[in-house]
Amino acid sequence: MKNSFFNKALSYFFRGVLFVAPIAFTIMVIQVVFIWVDGLLPFNIPGLGVIILISGIIGVGYLASTYFMKPFIELFDQFINKVPLLSLIYNSIKDLIGAFVGDKRKFNKPVMVQFDGLGKIMKPGFITQDDLAGINLPGYCSVYLPHSYNFSGNILIVANELVQPWDVNGTTAMKFIVSGGVTGIEDM
């Protein structure tokens, strides 16, 4: 009995660490960056560094969207792709951010995936790739199934006939899924 309690407590502890660590790390990184940026200024006005940082990011975004900068961005991407570990990290972050914003948004095709083949048990998700013939899976698509109350999920390879479009916009679908279905339909 004592060993079982200890194992459960240890299991809950590690689950808690898995949940808290990314949040704590994100808060810590944001705090360090804000303090660092504020420290670069010759005078002390709390928060001014953050405003300058956000303005700078907006400026870089504007420049990156101009026709003039495209060759430089492509050159930078080619350079990054030549460094193995750096390219893995850079491209993963770039793809993740691109899935939510930009021209290549991935979470704009909400679908319902049938789990029983009859349409009686379904799970909402988003198509991330329409056609997987390029990886020898013709007739299949990849569907991301976000978890409720969490920012994680599963990617499933699903036969096309088990996926049906869900006639709602991506934002509404994501709110419904992440809230665990608690967000009332009338609230959406």
Q: What is the pLDDT along the chain (188 residues), one digit of tens a residue?
A: 567 887 788 778 877 777 777 778 778 888 888 788 777 778 777 778 778 888 888 888 888 778 777 888 888 888 888 887 777 777 777 776 666 666 666 667 888 888 877 777 888 888 877 887 877 878 888 888 877 666 677 677 778 888 878 887 777 777 777 666 656 555 54
- pLDDT at residue 166, rounded to an integer: 80
Asked whether residue 47 is domain-assigned, the answer is yes
- pLDDT at residue 128, rounded to an integer: 79
What gap in Å lies between CA 77 and CA 86, rounded to an integer?
A: 11
Asked whether residue 66 is domain-assigned, the answer is yes
Q: Is 110 left (phi over 0), alpha (psi -120 to 50) or beta?
A: beta
Cβ–Cβ under 8 Å, residues 94 and 156: no
Handedness of CA 12, 14, 19, 24 (dihedral sign): positive
- 145-183 as b/e: b if 16+ CB within 10 A: bbeeeeeebeebebeeebbeebeeebeebbebbbeeeee
Asked whether residue 63 is domain-assigned, the answer is yes
Asked whether residue 105 is domain-assigned, the answer is no
Residue type, 129: Q
Say whether pTM exceeds 0.75: no
Structural domain ending residue among the three candidates 100, 123, 150 = 100
- pLDDT at residue 52, rounded to an integer: 82
**Shared domain check, 96 and 10:** yes
